Structure 1
């Protein structure tokens, strides 16, 4: 039951994330994250740093929206389905500043407790290439 619940939390969050990039409405996303949530993004990215709580997460999504004109999950594979979950995601994205399109994988560890995401640690294969694509 815990495995199914954790995966369903992520599936719901990914659907809400896709909706956010269409509507800009953060409210549907907030319910998937604990109030003390922490996101660790690689410092070399345009939206790098540590983002904390719902306010930090909302600022992170705004930064992502400023960076990417499109950010689509092409496919996802759940490599571990107990917390922390491990998800391999292939992304197809287009940078706002340059219009450059690129594809890249992200491996994430995602901690879920009491039905909410408490921590996310994404690992990018090439942060320099991503940052370069986003720089005019």
Structure 2
């Protein structure tokens, strides 16, 4: 059961992926309030808006070299809002990377691919 109008933050420097994920999630449930950020820093500045879930890309500095990576942003989110569910998203298929994100507080690690959007939707349903 999804709570009324949950707020979801999507943090990914690939604009097309953010738009596609937003469209997919809104097709699944019209009540989602979704905000996208191209950097983790922008997401951190908006945490006061009380998101219910954050979908966070592992690599955030492909466009802006000085941008913090997903692990650094995950640590900052957990420092500020320990209970906020964070779903990590990455094209990296390394178990070590996945384990590291879970160790720092991510609820799950999703590998970008054919079923990633469906998996993210199921995880959001389970965490809001």
TM-score, normalization: structure 2?
Answer: 0.26
TM-score, normalization: structure 1?
Answer: 0.24
Q: Which structure shows the bigger proportion of residues in helix conformation? A: 2
Q: Which structure shows the bigger proportion of residues in strand conformation? A: 1
